[in-house]
Structure 1
Amino acid sequence: MNQFYLNLKKAFFVLTSLLVSFISFAQQKVSTPVGDILLNIKVPEFKKATYDITIFGAIANGKTDTKAVFDKVINQCSVEGGGEVIVPKGTFFIAGAIVLKSHVNLHFEDGAELIFSADDKDYLPAVLTLWEGTELFNYSPLFYAYQCSDIAITGNGKINGSASKNFAKWRPQRSEEQNKLRQMGHDGTPVYERVFGAGSYLPPDMIQFFGCKNVLVDGISIIDAPYWVIHPVLCNNVTVQNVTINSMNLNNDGCDPEACTNVLIQHCNFTTGDDGIAIKAGRDQDGWRIGQPTENLVVRDCIFNSKTNGLCIGSEMSAGVRNIYMYNIKIKKCLSAIYFKSNLDRGGFIEDIHVSDVQCDSTLSAFIRFENNYHGSRGGHYPTRFNNFIIQNVSCNYSGEAGIYAVGVKGNPLKNISLKKVTIKSTPKDQVVDNAEHLTYEDVEVNGTKLLKPVETGPIMLRTD
């Protein structure tokens, strides 16, 4: 009998040891860098209360203004502790911005469509916003939230920004207003004095969450946006998923997380007039003043078709960008596919960047592109620190100007770039390399030939956006 209990005790000890080992192994398996980021990203939860906008008087005829109804319902929902504001099937028109409040999920049911006014006066008074990395008071974004928590835009509805009727015709690049704003940022002009809006021509974003936490955009389709499409600013815990964008206006970036932490972008399909993804962190002196880097961000399982770039970091990134993971991405056509850009005004850093499993059909310029002297410098000399990039298991059928472009600046080279399992089937120039330290190739094939190591070529000029 004693031997029986002795054997049973041994068996229990062995089983306990195996269980502890299994749990330890499981924990090690989950505890990856991406896994650690995802543990900090959770979609917000909402009360079960529902508020149907038609019950409050919204008429689905595509003509009657529903602005007052949306304002009333969203405010009431938030004040009463939150819930879902329901946009039911039908076509609704709104002359002005939707201003979200805390604890509100704006949910579009199947068959719902929201058409925004094209009249710029409907997006006044001016609100505090960020325009190309610089703070100002400007036209309200079409969806706007300021310092809110637990907010969402969800459902299978269609959102029409109507920008081609007005905002998309504006040409802010190199305009008087753009130069004025950038000079204000450079000079440290108090933000309350940077008042634009009426009489100026800086188009608003489609969606901007400013200083918010626990944010979700899920399922919606967006067309005809005025400027950057989804632009979280100074936010924490952001999820953008299952979103379709088809908007080819000037500067229609798909999603631009700026000065944000803990961001997940997944299962999206963007066809855009500018970058598919552009990760940012403020512009020049204004970015340094705010000082919030973008970090802990995952982009995965997406499809991009872009008039300019596919996956991009910069060029507004002066507070720094780090700890970024982008993988399982398909890029149809673009200018440059995997692009890291800055210029001599920016300062800051781009570091600890991981890109893998990207398939690209064709680029007009470069497949993999590092550029530390992007156009637009105002004469400063604050080169950005590029450090620690791993790019692996990526391929491109055709790259129009160069396959690999890695160009730093004298005295501030690109550092620690690892390219592994890279295939570029056809390109006029296999590599352009200048001022790059510890750039390594492993199983890199261009035009059917293995590239064993980088070769300093000096810089050449490529097409830019």
Structure 2
Amino acid sequence: MKQLHLFFVLVFATIASTSCVSPTVKSNDATGWDKVPEILKNISEPVFADAVYNILDYGATPSETIDSRPAILKAINECNRNGGGKVLIPAGTFFVKGPIVLKSHVNLHLEEQARLEFSTVPEDYLPMVLTKWEGTECFNYSPFIYSYQCTNVALTGKGTIDGNGAAVFNTWKALERPAMDRLRQMGNDTVPVYERTFGEGWYLRPCMIQFYGCNNVLVEGVQIYDSPFWIIHPVFCDNVIVRDVYIESFNYNNDGCDPESSTNVLIENAHFNVGDDGIAIKSGRDQDGWRIGQATESVIVRNCHFANWAITIGSEMSGGVRDIYIEDCKIDSCRNGIYFKSNLDRGGFFENLYMRRIHADICLWGMVNFRTDYHGYRGGNYPTLFRNITIEDVTCNRVDSVAIMANGVPEAKLHNITLRNIHVKQSPKATQMKNVVNLVLDNVTVNGKQVTSENE
């Protein structure tokens, strides 16, 4: 483990550490939405060799009880050794007793009517691997589909992935507090990562799909159900595409897609019906996020559909979040609409975020919500910097709390917030705003009445 940690340190040693409050402003001629074409130039699908490796040829058996994992891993290994290609999961149900580890230049492709059924036995996901758990690095149970430091890697097709997370892993939510507190304290104390060992007896649920330190990543077309924890989680990645996926999973903390400390990310035409945030953009938690200092930046989200939960920035965003573009999304009946969340432990920054053409039906907790007092606060005094955020062309039929909330703190007020052409048809309260500098409300209506800074 010490050798793995040293390798990890070398990989990220060149990443500049980010101040917990003041980001470094990048110079760039393009600003606002004009920057989107420039970002898209840096995002492209990975290219694979034409070779096909059918798992049936390696001993896989369509069965809900016979383990096909050894055959899948054999096919992946041979595909990788031979220079890459497609590892084919044909139609049928295949039981997988443990994690699938993807390698460079491999496209794991699920044909239509193919189904991967993952084991419900936690010990099957050992030995531990280097991972991130709610923004803090550690060694823990392996994600069900895991790729570490790979280039050109994909998960595609029209098949189904079932994590069976409700059977055992969802029950761990009630047992996780000792491990969660231990891990967060380790992060705060900058304990070496190789000493942060969890796994058996600690009840930290693994992610469903995690790409860790990878370049050129594609997740396309698959249907995903019943995850044990976060669902699609790119960490320290560059050039990531998540497209045309359908996710339905209602366990605790079932975030749909969490790009974390990653750059050049495109999420499009995806459907999220999940038990927590549909998309949550993150960059590490507290001191652990500052230590690494890698922001999430240059992210485009478009043409996505959200049910139950919607779009969130944070709360683990201590490395900073910048240059985020979200457009043409639909929100059904959800707890939140557009949600920024942080607290005085986080530090970091939100800057240069743009959203437009969002339509929501019902949002219980608000259509637009900037929250600087999110739960989990441990007594720090590191306010998050919010600046240069524009949200426009938003409609919502009903909010059951406060339609628009923008609450900064005196130590770090919200700066340069523009809300334009936002219309909430029905809400018991229009706005709640304080500690905002240069707030622009341009054609904002709630309950048919114009909202201005004077009547907030």
TM-score, length of structure 1 as denominator length: 0.90
Alpha carbons of structure 1 residues 172 and 325: separation in structure 2 relative to 1, 3 Å: farther
Q: Partners of 1:215 and 1:41 in 2: how far apart?
A: 10
Q: What do residues 275-302 of structure 1 show as CA deviations (whole Å, max 9, x unaligned)?
A: 0010000000000111100000000001
Correspondence for 2:386: 386
Q: Distance in 2 between matches of 1:123 and 1:142?
A: 7
Structure 1, unpaired ranges of 5+: 1-27, 457-465
Q: Does residue 1:313 correspond to 2:313, yes or no?
A: yes
> Quick check: 1:280 aligned with 2:282?
yes
2:347 is equivalent to residue 364 of structure 1: no
Q: Distance between the aligned counterparts of 2:376 and 2:127, measured in 1?
A: 31
Partner of 1:370, secondary structure, is strand
Shift of residue 32, structure 1, vs aligned partner = 2.7
1-structure distance, mates of 2:66, 2:384: 50
Does 1:84 find its partner at 2:86? Answer: yes
Matches within 5 A, 1:16-415: 32-171=34-173, 175-306=177-308, 309-415=309-415
Alpha carbons 2:61, 2:94 under 8 Å: kept = yes
Which residue identity is paired with 2:243?
Answer: Q
d(CA) in 1 for partners of 2:373, 2:194: 32
The question of whether the paired residues in 2 share the 8 Å contact of 1:439 and 1:454 is answered with no
Distance 1:390 1:427 in 2: 22
Q: How much does 1:72 deviate? A: 1.0
Question: Does structure 1 residue 438 correspond to structure 2 residue 438?
Answer: yes
TM-score of the pair, normalised by structure 2:
0.92
> Partner amino acid for 1:339?
Y
Which amino acid in the other structure matches residue 114 of structure 1? L
Higher relative contact order (CA 8 A, sep 6+): 2
Equivalent in the alignment of 1:461: none
Q: Say which SS state the counterpart of residue 380 (structure 2) adopts.
A: coil
Match of 1:344, SS state, is coil
Q: For each residue in 1:134-162, what CA deviation from the matched residue of structure 2 results, as whole angstroms up to 9, or x when unmatched?
A: 00000000000000000000000000001
* Cα 1:384/1:455, change in 2 over 3 Å: farther
Q: For the Cα contact (< 8 Å) 2:385–2:414, is it kept in 1?
A: yes
Distance 2:117 2:287 in 1: 37
- Structure 2 unmatched runs, 5+: 1-29
Correspondences of 1:406-425 after superposition (within 5 Å)? 406-425=406-425
TM-aligned CA deviation for residue 65 of structure 1: 0.2
Aligned counterparts of 1:411 and 1:76: Cα–Cα separation in 2: 56
Deviation at 1:173, TM superposition (A): 7.9
Matches of 1:376 and 1:113 in 2, distance apart?
A: 37
Q: How many residues align?
A: 425
| Identity fraction in percent | 51
1:215-249 deviations in Å (ceiling 9; x for gaps): 00000000000000000000000000000000011
Name the structure 2 match of 1:9.
none
Q: Is the 8 A contact 2:176 2:202 kept in 1?
A: no
Q: Give the whole-Å Cα distance in 2 for the aligned partners of 1:333 and 1:278.
A: 18
**CA 344–455 in structure 1, closer or farther in 2 if over 3 Å, else same:** farther
**Cα shift at 1:37:** 0.7
In 1, the alpha carbon distance for the partners of 2:400 and 2:272 equals 22
Name the CA distance, whole Å, in 2 between partners of 1:282 and 1:379: 18
Deviations 1:382-417 (A, max 9, x none): 000000110000011111110110001112111100
Three-state SS of the structure 2 residue aligned to 1:154 is strand
1:20 is matched with none
The SS at the match of 2:204 is: coil
The CA deviation at 1:333 is 1.6
SS in 2 for 1:437: strand
Rg comparison, structure with higher value: 1
* In structure 1, C-alpha distance between the alignment counterparts of 2:333 and 2:134, rounded to whole Å: 24
Does structure 2 conserve the Cα–Cα contact (< 8 Å) formed by 1:402 and 1:429? yes
State how far apart, in whole Å, the 2-side matches of 1:141 and 1:454 are: 50
Given residue 351 of structure 1, which amino acid in structure 2 is its aligned partner?
E
- Structure 1 residues 446 and 162, CA gap change in structure 2 (3 angstroms): same
How far the C-alpha of 1:453 sits from its partner, in A, is 2.7
Match of 1:463 in 2: none
In structure 1, what residue type is equivalent to 2:404?
Answer: I
Give 1:454 shift.
Answer: 5.3
Partner SS for 2:184? helix
Deviations 1:296-333 (A, max 9, x none): 00000010012xx4110000000000000000000102
Specify the code of the residue in structure 2 equivalent to 1:310: A
Of 406-415 and 204-213, more deviation after overlay is shown by: 406-415
Q: 2:429 maps to which residue?
A: 429
SS for the counterpart of 2:77 is helix
Task: Report the AA paired with residue 93 of structure 1.
Answer: F
How many Å separate the matches in 2 of 1:174 and 1:412? Answer: 32
Give yes or no for contact 2:238–2:264 (8 Å, CA) kept in 1: yes
1:371 shift after superposition: 1.1
Q: Is the 8 A contact 2:52 2:88 kept in 1?
A: yes
Per the alignment, in what secondary structure is the counterpart of residue 264 of structure 2? strand
When residues 153 and 338 of structure 1 are mapped into structure 2, their CA distance, relative to the original with a 3 A threshold, is same
Displaced runs of 4 or more, over 4 A: none
More off after superposition, 201-210 vs 445-454 = 445-454
CA drift of 1:255 comes to 0.3
* Post-superposition CA distance 1:402-438 (Å, at most 9, x none): 0110001112111100000000000011000111111
State the 1:455 CA deviation: 4.4
Q: What CA distance in whole angstroms lies between the structure 2 residues aligned with 1:437 and 1:92?
A: 56
In the alignment, the residues of structure 2 paired with residue 171 and residue 422 of structure 1 have an alpha-carbon distance, to the nearest angstrom, of 37
Q: Determine if contact 1:168/1:250 at 8 Å carries over to the other structure.
A: yes
- Verify the 8 A CA contact 2:176 2:203 in the aligned structure 1: no
1:93–1:117 CA contact under 8 A, matched in 2: yes
RMSD of aligned Cα (Å): 1.2
Decide whether the 8 Å contact of 1:217 with 1:239 is kept in 2. Answer: yes
**In 1: Cα distance, 2:160 partner to 2:310 partner:** 23
